[in-house]
Amino acid sequence: MNRQIEVLSPAGNMDKLKMAIRYGADAVYCAGQSFGLRASSSNFSNEQLKEAVDFVHSHGKKIYVTCNIIPHNEDLVGLEDYLKFLESIGVDAIIVADLGIFLLAKRVAPNLERHVSTQANTTNYLTTEFWKEQGASRVVVAREVSIADIKTMKEAADIEIEAFVHGAMCISYSGRCLLSNYFTTRDANRGQCTQACRWKYSLVEENRPGEYYPIEEDQHGTYIFNSKDLCLLKYIPDLVEAGVDSLKIEGRMKSVHYAATVTKVYREAVDTYLADPAHYEVKPEWIEELEKISHRPYTEGFSVEKPDETAQNYGASSNTQTHDFIGLVEGYNAEEGYAYLEQRNNFKVGDEVEFCQPHGELVHHVITKMTDEDGNEITVAPHAQMKVRLYIDTPLEEYAMMRRKCKVKGQ
């Protein structure tokens, strides 16, 4: 198949952006310090945005910047200059939810492509046609649409379609939520969501204040709004055949480990499908990789049918993962047989570890010898970001992630 399918990865900061590109993303999306919906993420200063654009373009990839808040009048201060700045540094597109921001960008930064955010709730083909007529080059469809809906929307307008395929789901209609505003006065639609949907709730009867009843018969209460995470590896053929141009991974506030691992899995899955569409199957090792990162149980969302009660995770709001990210490879000395590592978590001689590489196969290893950066032999690497020489016969790629299986509680 000659058609190009974009793997679009989250970039909450510069480290995540660079790792996503190194692990196979065709494009990344990020935010400046204003006008985006992830105020809790570290985000990018203007200087960092310029650096990010230069880095991404040097690798032949694309970068999109979110301007997807639902603004009030006071939120518009500085917006015009910001849009002109994004155009001047060569950002490939902005992601916009509000029609006012969309029209302003069209007027003051006409060479800046505009993608319509999922926050704009595009759920039908008429709306797709509308955004095409307004000059949008891409629509990010709402999470509430099925693959069949997407096909109809694509056929209605000659416009690029982007769809979420992996990551956290919102229990509100494509993020149009008032829970955070109500409980904490932090506006979810202006980038300050507290994820109140993930909190633990109990039932209180009006005439019995102070008496809390679990909504289910469980001593811990229940997390009634806590959606499982989306995973559509299985449906890549269907999404491509429906006309989706960009497969979007959620997670700008998640870790470097998450960004790199999920990107690599979807990179391999897309390449496998494009190489032989008729025989595409989800490989067990892809699923194993997705279990290693921090996540909630997985769901297929609205892809085929409306989700039922099984799409919610009632038992807990915390994530699970099978492996910890404990070191980053900065180089390999072939003559002396050791990798340069930057420590990301405590590790020691005797640990069974594995290396996830940007391009190569997974490498398993038992640590038998390591030294500090001066060559002094050590048995443990306890200090944050300390430099370590780890002796291993197998050459390792730069930016490979060293991981260790999580310890079971109580051990």
What pLDDT is recorded for position 307? Answer: 58
- What tokens were used for 204? 């209180």
Alpha helices for 276-334 (secondary structure H): 284-292
pLDDT band at 193 (very low <50, low <70, confident <90, very high): low
- What pLDDT is recorded for position 173? 57
| 164 in the same domain as 246 | yes
Distance CA 251, CA 272 (A): 24
Rounded average pLDDT over 186-215 = 65
pLDDT in tens, 227-239: 678 999 999 999 9
Residue 357, token pair as written in the block: 């590489």
393 and 268 within one domain: no
Confidence tier at 308 by pLDDT (50, 70, 90): low
Residues 10 and 63 in one domain: yes
- The CATH number of whichever domain residue 76 belongs to comes to 3.20.20.70
Domain boundary among 278, 309, 340: 309
What pLDDT sits at residue 411?
A: 44
Q: Which of 56, 60, 78 is nearest to 69 (CA)?
A: 78
Residues 265 and 389 occupy one common structural domain:
no
- Region for residue 66 given its phi and psi (left: phi exceeds 0; alpha: psi -120 to 50; beta: otherwise): beta
Across the chain, mean pLDDT equals 87
Average pLDDT over residues 102-115: 97
pLDDT on residue 170? 67
Same domain, 260 and 142: yes
User: Residue 394's domain is classified under what CATH number?
Assistant: 2.40.30.10
Whether residue 296 lies inside any domain: the answer is yes
52 or 312, greater pLDDT: 52
pLDDT surpasses 80 at 17:
yes
DSSP 181: H
| Domain count across the chain | 2
Model confidence over 176-192: pLDDT tens digits? 666 666 566 666 555 56
Is residue 201 one of the residues assigned to a domain?
no
Average pLDDT over residues 15-40: 87
Please tell me the predicted confidence (pLDDT) of residue 299: 80
Give the tens place of pLDDT for each residue, 245-302.
999 999 888 999 999 999 999 999 999 999 999 999 999 999 999 999 988 788 887 7
From 309, 344, 371, give the residue that closes a domain.
Answer: 309
The reply to whether 180 falls in a domain is: no
Confidence of residue 218 (pLDDT cuts 50, 70, 90): very low
Whether residue 202 is contained in a domain is answered as: no
The residue length of the chain stands at 411
In a domain, 91, yes or no: yes
Say yes or no to pLDDT of 314 above 50. no
Residue 82 within a domain: yes
Most confidently modeled of 28-42, 306-320, 326-340? 326-340
Residues 328 and 290 placed together within one structural domain of the fold? no
Name the residue range of residue 129's domain: 6-173+226-309
By CB atoms closer than 10 A (0-12, 13-18, 19+), residue 380 is middle
Same-domain pairing of 158 and 237 = yes
